[in-house]
Structure 1
Amino acid sequence: MIQSKKQWKINTLDEAVVATLQNGLGLSTMAAKILAARGFTTVEAAKEWLHMDDSAMHDPFLLHGMDDAVFRIEQALEEGEKILVYTDYDADGVTSASVMLSVLYDLGADVIFKIPNRFKHGYGPHIDLFQEAYDEGVRLIITVDNGISAVDQVRFAKDLGMDIIITDHHEPGDVLPEADVILHPRVPANSYPFGELAGVGVAFKLAHALYGEVPAHLFEYVAVGTVADLVPLEGENRYFVKRGLEALRISHKPWVAALCDVSSQEKSQIDEDTIGFLFGPRINAVGRLGEARPAVELLMSDDAAQAAMLAKKLNDANVERKDLVQTITEEAVAMIEGDEALRNSLVLVVAAPNWNPGVVGIVASRLVEEYYKPTIVLCIDEEKGTAKGSARSIEGYHLYNELAKNRDIVPHFGGHPMAAGMTLPKENVEELRRRLHMQAVDCLTDEQLQQKLRVDIPLTLEEITVEAIEDIAKLGPFGMHFAKPIYALENMQIASMKKIGATQNHLKLEITDGVQSIEAVSFNNGHLADELTQGVSVSFVGDVSINEWQGRKKPQFKVEDVQTTEWQLFDIRGIRQPSRWLQQVPVADVQFVAFSEETVRYYASIVEQPIYVVAEQYDNILTNGYIVLLDLPQNVQILQALLSTKKPSRIYAHFFVQDSQYFNGMPSREQFAWFFKLLKQNPQLNWREHFPKISTQFGVPQEILKFMTKVFFELKFVRIDKGLISVEPTTQKSALTDAPAYKERQARMELEQLLLYAPYAELKDWLTATMQ
């Protein structure tokens, strides 16, 4: 048995809907299943989704305040006023700034930009930077991707005599800043047809209004910012990303080529994953570690050499960011594992000095993935006496509301149900941990603490073809509210399997349904090679892709998780060196079982765990755990009683015997007769002296000679005195099979045949029947 990492919830699709979509749209069953899983039930609705055009975009002047914003900016252009574009340090902010700077440069504006430093200024508008801009002659501020909550900062700018236009998409508070104009898709509520624009989307709408036409050359920026900011990929956002990805694949802009180069990405193959996993993290990295200005400079650069240099700077920062995340995660895990109270808490709160606040949100996400509990990661500032950090939650635990119950000890926090940021006095950290745990006891159930994986597309191997996988690309882009599908292959078998990679930490395998097969890989799951056995019914979840090698394309399954409910037999019979099989045996949930004290003594210095001796008593053996059967039992009934009672989920069958009797076999009646005649002809035969000679002369193993002698002795055919064997002058007629030694050898040979020398399939069938 292998328990999946997460609790799978496999979707059941309406086959009639799948058939309708497949036939009506001319798609593969895989693509049709994806649409059905995403809620499409009619061909018309699916066509509208798949074939978007410019009509998906709304008139930018539908945004409340757009007329006033355009008027004020055009006024600044006419009068030569200096304009500040004030942005955020993440990818959405960087691309928003790039959009706004592009249109203002094109219109001939005198424009500069500023980005707050995460560590010095924090998020959003800062009065020091506004004062700095005023001193530099700025009279109009345009915020992008921030500003909707900057009530005090806007008042400060207005008091200085500057005008301010806020463009933002974040959640507005109860009190709005007194800016000259606010461009926000949800302010006033329901005033704009699509309320889910990213910050870069709002900036694009303003650029559209200023140009007087759709600025198609800016779609690349909008795609990057929209995907990176994880806004829903529907409506205008979906159209922006579709157009942006098309533009990125043929772009001649230096920044696109430079980012492709440092991330080893083929430009023609750019997709939403490229943005989410390659471009976005690099753009974000500089802002996480320090100044985000180089990211804007890269996206605005017209010089290939400068773009290459800046892309390298972003890439270096991303490498450093990864190292920081890894280090802090390892330290946090060690902290959790080393503290029983913390480890058992339903909400994890970890804090330490010198942790980088720019990456703790990523660390919190890693810890949620590892432990599946709401998690807060805090950086202690000893000088200020504060703890500042980020939190990530799980379904069922409304992070913002739970933090709000602790305003008395967490004076500064913000966020939403699944993520939050906060600053609190460092002496309140332990109390916060205690309170949040108690709150979680009241609102989280055991079911909610089990991580779930929604598997929406069950597949058969027959459906997975190169053409079908290529068909799926037509459905993209995938993202929030149109998630990339997770596929399931149920009740499969493993045809072959091996560890790969420099450290053998990955897995390559062939999955089969008995008729067809598919190649598969599983990254960072090399250990499964020691946990899966061939012939077991296994289910897999993961992704599909095309593996291209030397011009040949083949479908491939990328395994993310595995489960099997069957018990597994690991055949380690005949492996004499313990070092060769002990490494396959897990340390946890396993018990080593022997049937003789001699075996215990033999393995005592080799096996670190205790070895349990089973004779007639086996109450000390685990139920439903893993069992290593070190040797053969005295009889089959003992093993049957053990397994039928305990039903282990894994059996490691070693069945070591020092001297196997199976291959010497049972002497024939002719051999017994020959040996008895030999004993008659040689009275007073000294077995110690003569057995080696007889063995050599006649080719009969000494072990067989000794065995036949014992049978004769037990039947009183011979007597043995001081090593001398003599045939009794008179004997009662008895069958050889009546001798206890004969019966014991016969039973031992049958036991060895059943357990030690039977083919794998026969042994497993017998063990399965025994446990049932």
Structure 2
Amino acid sequence: MLQSKSNWKFKTISNETTQWMDDSSNLSPVMKELLIQRGISTIQEAQDFISPKLENLFDPRSFQAIEKASTRVHTAIEQQEKILVYGDYDADGVSSTTVLLKTLRELGANCDYYIPNRFTEGYGPNEAAFQQAFEDGYSVIITVDTGIASVYEAEVAKQLGIDLIITDHHEPQEELPDAYAILHPKLSPEYPFKELAGVGVAFKFSQHLLGYFPEHLLDLVAIGTVADLVPLIDENRILTYYGLRKLSDTKRLGLKALMSQCKIEGAINEQDIGFLIGPRLNAVGRLQDADLAVQLLLTEDQAEAEELAEVVNELNQERQQIVASIVKEAEAMVDLQDHHSVIVVAKSGWNEGVLGIVASRLVKKYDRPAIVLAINEEKQTAKGSARSIPAFDLFQNCMKMRSYFTHFGGHSQAAGMTLPLDHVGKIEQELNQLIKDQLTADDFKQEIAISKTICVPEINEELVSEIDQLAPFGMANPKPIFHLKHTPSDIRQLGSMKNHLKIHFKENDKVIEGIGFGMGDLYHRISPQTEVSVVGELGINEWNGIKKPQLVLQDMSINEWQLFDHRGKKQFDAAPYFSNHERHVLLSNKEIEEKNVSETMKQITYHTPLETIERADVLYIYDLPTNLAHLKEIINQVQPVNIHVCFYVENSSYLSPMPTRDDFKWFYALLYKRKQIDLNTELQLIMDAKGWKKDQVVFISKVFFELEFVKIENGVIQLNSAPVKKDLQESNLYQERINKAHIEKTLYYSTYQELYNWFQSTITYMDSERLKEELTYGL
């Protein structure tokens, strides 16, 4: 048995939504089911999803207060008032800033932008920046991707006589800012789609200001939308779909230079943004002023574009090093703490800009919500970021203790915060209790949403190509994960460190390859001829011009007990098998080498009282029993889910010839005739005469001695004068030899399948609660 690392959640569809599955559409049954899972139940909806259309975007005029905001901006442009675009320092923020700034410049506005420094000013609008804007003559400030929580700053703007227009998409809090106008999809009852990114809201405002659809800005919209992890459905899907096309052929010198640094060629997809472009733009604001990122997106000078792109790339490399260092320190702190339901770590000197990434790493490793804070000793404050697990809404629960925070904002899975240092312990204590009250132990595991169970014959290039039509993938439209249950035809480790796993599944003439990156350690946990369940994404592996469909594995489980066969190895190293299970029992009649024993392993012998043997996940059997029934009792007492047989036999009873009854008769007849035999001088003669080995002669002699047929003294065998007639079966030695040979045949010289069948017939706890506890997922 192998437990999955994540909870597997199988998606289901209701009967009411399957009406169109049998129509004349040329979509495969798999594709139809994937669309239904996305709430698509008609052919028209399917066509719109597979081939998004710009005309399906919503009219910006549905935004509440957009007419008022637009009128004010146009008035400012006409009167040459100074307009300040106030942005945020992440990829969504800098792309939003660029979108609106390009729009205002196109309209001839007297405008500029401002992005606060993460370290000296923190997130969002601040009084000092607004005061400076007033002194610099700005009469209109437009926030992008920020501002919805800036109640105090809106009042500052009002007192200064600045008209504040807020465009944002973050969660509105109980009190809204008293701004000139607020453009927010969740505060616009008439606007149908509520999940736009900050750049999506800025784009909608730009569209309304320009009076036409600004398709040339879609490359920037795609970057901010994908990087901010908003749901890639509805409008976000349409904007990203066309934005990726625009990005693939972008004329922006800065973006082209950045993509060159990323070594991106050809068509751009959402993964290029998510893993390459987005992190680099984010890295700027994490380490310094984000102005550099905006300059990169705005520049029209080739030399400047290349220079800025190189600096951005170097900052990203520096960010990676800083993250690795903080993660190492944070993990050391967590390992010293009591096991709470939430992780809270804080230290002075940590870079505030990367703490969200650090929190994500901690969540992934420890499967708990994590808050990572940088301490300001001088101000006695803590500032940082939090990330959560799917089962726990971090935003809503933190709002229950809003008074503890000086600043707080975010989403259900991520948040940023500032708080007095002496409140850190309080939020840890209260969050810990809230999590305990709301979650079960199973909720802490990461989740994998599985779209469908699939068979080997169903997997082909055509299906992979069809699934690609669901792209761009992202939040609320993840790349489909498939479940395959099959017995591998071949398993091997890959890589110089053997840290990857390759597994082949064969059905008839069809072979599908599965590749598990970083899953090489599972090689030792898959026994032969065992049916395994794997989950992963379908893709195409191209090598030397040959394309083959493959399954990129994310997790694996084995939902039955397993037998691992190490018979015949003089030296068996159990260390690779220790992980993935907590309790181990080693059955041996001799002390085992230290390297084969872990802290979680207990050693027992065949003489250990049965009632003292505890249950364990794994049983290692080093020595053959003298009684098969006793071994059965031990197995059912331990109740293992995995059994390792590690027998090594040097002097085999099964392979050594067993004297026949005729052999015993011949030797007795010789004794009867001779009265005595001196084995010191006649052993070789007997061996030559019968073709026996020494141990056969010795064995016959010992059986006769046990049955009191003979006396043996100093190698001389002498026939008793009046022996009592007995059968060979009455000899314990004779019976032990037969029993030992039978045990060796059953447990040592049997085939793997024969050995498996013997253990299978031995196990009586298979239907008990023991195995129900070990189930890794349910269909």
What is the TM-score when the length of structure 1 is the normalising length? 0.90
CA distance in 1, matches of 2:705, 2:540: 73
Residue aligned with 2:505, SS: strand
CA distance in 2, matches of 1:277, 1:258: 17
Residue aligned with 2:651, SS: coil
Query: Any conservation in 2 of the 1:86–1:144 contact (CA below 8 Å)?
Result: yes
Query: Any conservation in 2 of the 1:464–1:555 contact (CA below 8 Å)?
Result: yes
Alpha-carbon distance, 1:517 to partner: 3.5
- 1:152 is aligned with what amino acid? Y
User: 1:15–1:205: structure 2 CA closer, same or farther, 3 Å change rule?
Assistant: closer
Q: Determine which of 622, 626, 643 is the counterpart of 2:614.
A: 622
What is the match of residue 626 of structure 2? 634
What is the match of residue 552 of structure 2? 558
What is the match of residue 487 of structure 2? 493
User: 1:667–1:628: structure 2 CA closer, same or farther, 3 Å change rule?
Assistant: same
- 1:58 is aligned with what amino acid? F
Alpha-carbon distance, 1:546 to partner: 0.9
Query: Any conservation in 2 of the 1:30–1:464 contact (CA below 8 Å)?
Result: no
Question: Relative to structure 2, which stretch is displaced further, 584-593 or 540-549?
Answer: 584-593
Aligned counterparts, 1:181-580, within 5 A: 181-187=181-187, 189-268=188-267, 270-340=268-338, 343=339, 345-394=340-389, 397-407=392-402, 409-446=404-441, 448-449=443-444, 451-490=446-485, 492-512=486-506, 516-579=510-573
Alpha-carbon distance, 1:658 to partner: 4.5
Residue aligned with 1:326, SS: helix
Query: Any conservation in 1 of the 2:5–2:445 contact (CA below 8 Å)?
Result: no
Question: Relative to structure 2, which stretch is displaced further, 237-246 or 315-324?
Answer: 315-324
Residue aligned with 2:653, SS: coil
Alpha-carbon distance, 1:412 to partner: 3.6
Alpha-carbon distance, 1:732 to partner: 6.1
The count of residues paired between Structure 1 and Structure 2 equals 762
CA distance in 2, matches of 1:410, 1:162: 28
Query: Any conservation in 2 of the 1:169–1:185 contact (CA below 8 Å)?
Result: yes
User: 1:143–1:475: structure 2 CA closer, same or farther, 3 Å change rule?
Assistant: same
- 1:334 is aligned with what amino acid? A
Query: Any conservation in 1 of the 2:585–2:616 contact (CA below 8 Å)?
Result: no
CA distance in 1, matches of 2:244, 2:682: 90
Residue aligned with 1:619, SS: helix
Alpha-carbon distance, 1:295 to partner: 1.7
Residue aligned with 2:537, SS: strand
Q: For each residue in 1:206-246, what CA deviation from the matched residue of structure 2 results, as whole angstroms up to 9, or x when unmatched?
A: 33234332221111111111122222323322211111112
Residue aligned with 2:646, SS: strand
Q: For each residue in 1:421-456, what CA deviation from the matched residue of structure 2 results, as whole angstroms up to 9, or x when unmatched?
A: 322222232233223323334333445445543323
CA distance in 2, matches of 1:586, 1:147: 48
Residue aligned with 1:25, SS: coil
User: 1:551–1:715: structure 2 CA closer, same or farther, 3 Å change rule?
Assistant: same
Structure 1 segments unaligned to the other structure (5+ residues): none
User: 1:421–1:617: structure 2 CA closer, same or farther, 3 Å change rule?
Assistant: same
Residue aligned with 2:208, SS: helix
Q: Is structure 2 residue 656 aligned with structure 1 residue 664?
A: yes
Aligned counterparts, 1:641-652, within 5 A: 641-652=633-644
What is the match of residue 26 of structure 2? 26
Alpha-carbon distance, 1:487 to partner: 1.7
- 1:464 is aligned with what amino acid? I
Question: Relative to structure 2, which stretch is displaced further, 741-750 or 513-522?
Answer: 513-522
Q: Is structure 2 residue 582 aligned with structure 1 residue 589?
A: yes
Alpha-carbon distance, 1:351 to partner: 2.1
Query: Any conservation in 2 of the 1:31–1:475 contact (CA below 8 Å)?
Result: no
Query: Any conservation in 1 of the 2:566–2:572 contact (CA below 8 Å)?
Result: no
Alpha-carbon distance, 1:467 to partner: 0.7
Q: For each residue in 1:138-194, what CA deviation from the matched residue of structure 2 results, as whole angstroms up to 9, or x when unmatched?
A: 45433222233334334444555544443323334455445444433344x314343
Alpha-carbon distance, 1:493 to partner: 1.3
Residue aligned with 2:361, SS: helix
CA distance in 1, matches of 2:154, 2:426: 36
User: 1:729–1:355: structure 2 CA closer, same or farther, 3 Å change rule?
Assistant: same
What is the match of residue 710 of structure 1? 702
Query: Any conservation in 2 of the 1:546–1:555 contact (CA below 8 Å)?
Result: yes
Q: For each residue in 1:243-289, what CA deviation from the matched residue of structure 2 results, as whole angstroms up to 9, or x when unmatched?
A: 11122233354344434333343332x22222222222221122122
CA distance in 2, matches of 1:308, 1:77: 33
Q: For each residue in 1:665-709, what CA deviation from the matched residue of structure 2 results, as whole angstroms up to 9, or x when unmatched?
A: 313456556666777898865546765797699874433332232
CA distance in 2, matches of 1:442, 1:616: 43
- 2:350 is aligned with what amino acid? W
Residue aligned with 2:448, SS: strand
User: 1:577–1:691: structure 2 CA closer, same or farther, 3 Å change rule?
Assistant: farther
CA distance in 1, matches of 2:636, 2:147: 69
Query: Any conservation in 2 of the 1:374–1:393 contact (CA below 8 Å)?
Result: yes
Alpha-carbon distance, 1:744 to partner: 1.2
Query: Any conservation in 2 of the 1:233–1:482 contact (CA below 8 Å)?
Result: yes
User: 1:251–1:25: structure 2 CA closer, same or farther, 3 Å change rule?
Assistant: farther
CA distance in 1, matches of 2:449, 2:511: 25
What is the TM-score when the length of structure 2 is the normalising length? 0.89
Query: Any conservation in 1 of the 2:149–2:409 contact (CA below 8 Å)?
Result: no
Query: Any conservation in 1 of the 2:572–2:646 contact (CA below 8 Å)?
Result: no
User: 1:600–1:590: structure 2 CA closer, same or farther, 3 Å change rule?
Assistant: farther
Query: Any conservation in 2 of the 1:140–1:164 contact (CA below 8 Å)?
Result: yes
CA distance in 2, matches of 1:676, 1:540: 65
Query: Any conservation in 1 of the 2:64–2:189 contact (CA below 8 Å)?
Result: no
User: 1:29–1:570: structure 2 CA closer, same or farther, 3 Å change rule?
Assistant: same
Residue aligned with 2:169, SS: coil
Query: Any conservation in 2 of the 1:376–1:389 contact (CA below 8 Å)?
Result: yes
What is the match of residue 8 of structure 1? 8
CA distance in 2, matches of 1:701, 1:200: 89
What is the match of residue 116 of structure 2? 116
CA distance in 1, matches of 2:487, 2:44: 40
Residue aligned with 2:611, SS: coil
CA distance in 2, matches of 1:291, 1:558: 39
Alpha-carbon distance, 1:118 to partner: 0.9
CA distance in 2, matches of 1:19, 1:160: 61
- 1:367 is aligned with what amino acid? L
User: 1:611–1:3: structure 2 CA closer, same or farther, 3 Å change rule?
Assistant: same
Question: Relative to structure 2, which stretch is displaced further, 19-28 or 527-536?
Answer: 19-28
Alpha-carbon distance, 1:332 to partner: 3.0
Residue aligned with 2:352, SS: coil
What is the match of residue 58 of structure 1? 58
Alpha-carbon distance, 1:200 to partner: 1.1
- 1:704 is aligned with what amino acid? Q
Query: Any conservation in 2 of the 1:66–1:183 contact (CA below 8 Å)?
Result: yes
Residue aligned with 2:610, SS: coil
Query: Any conservation in 2 of the 1:499–1:508 contact (CA below 8 Å)?
Result: yes
User: 1:69–1:280: structure 2 CA closer, same or farther, 3 Å change rule?
Assistant: same
User: 1:59–1:604: structure 2 CA closer, same or farther, 3 Å change rule?
Assistant: closer
Question: Relative to structure 2, which stretch is displaced further, 613-622 or 551-560?
Answer: 613-622
CA distance in 1, matches of 2:408, 2:679: 92
Q: Is structure 2 residue 761 aligned with structure 1 residue 766?
A: no
User: 1:350–1:42: structure 2 CA closer, same or farther, 3 Å change rule?
Assistant: same
Question: Relative to structure 2, which stretch is displaced further, 149-158 or 233-242?
Answer: 149-158
RMSD over equivalenced CA pairs, Å: 3.2
Alpha-carbon distance, 1:616 to partner: 6.9
User: 1:662–1:590: structure 2 CA closer, same or farther, 3 Å change rule?
Assistant: farther
Q: Determine which of 730, 735, 740 is the counterpart of 1:748.
A: 740
Query: Any conservation in 1 of the 2:171–2:411 contact (CA below 8 Å)?
Result: no
User: 1:396–1:759: structure 2 CA closer, same or farther, 3 Å change rule?
Assistant: closer
